[in-house]
Amino acid sequence: MSEQSSKTLSLLLASAAAISLLVGGIGIMNIMLVSVTERTREIGIRRAIGARGSQVLLQFLIEAITLAVLGGAIGVALGIAASAVVSSKAKLPVHVTPASILLAFGFSAAIGIFFGFYPARKASNLDPIEALRYE
């Protein structure tokens, strides 16, 4: 009975985490799409003076990954703090391992790459002439 309730609780927590990652990824994609739209002229200037599409793509991917990793760092800090509170209040042993922290940062970076790729690709494919005309 205890094992079954533990599995159910684990499944519930995993589904909540998956939904949170999906919502966070969509948020990153929306922020990056707005950033591409607002910086269309800048992208056009960069492309007109010789920047390759791959360089623009890399720039926006790095921005998306930075957003995701910063969000992951805040999440890890809140998770460690919540674990400490649960451990002290409920008198339950809670251990945060370096492997779990690395896993969280890895997922965070992967979400940044996955959801940041479309806006970065859109930016890298902008025609320099059309981008310079954009107001």
Structure tokens at 50: 């010789």
From the list 82, 64, 56, the residue with the least C-alpha distance to 24 is 64
* Residue-level pLDDT at 133: 85
* Residue-level pLDDT at 54: 93
From the list 32, 59, 30, 33, the residue with the least C-alpha distance to 46 is 59
* Residue-level pLDDT at 74: 93
From the list 39, 61, 43, the residue with the least C-alpha distance to 51 is 43
* Residue-level pLDDT at 93: 82
CA distance 94 to 109: 25
Cβ atoms 40, 131 nearer than 8 A? yes
DSSP secondary structure of 59-118: HHHHHHHHHHHHHHHHHHHHHHHHHHHHHHHH-------HHHHHHHHHHHHHHHHHHHHH
Mind listing the pLDDT tens digit of every residue in the chain (135 residues)?
A: 778 887 888 889 889 888 988 898 899 999 999 999 999 999 999 999 999 999 999 999 999 999 888 988 998 899 899 988 988 888 888 888 899 889 888 888 898 899 999 999 999 999 888 888 887
Cβ atoms 65, 110 nearer than 8 A? no
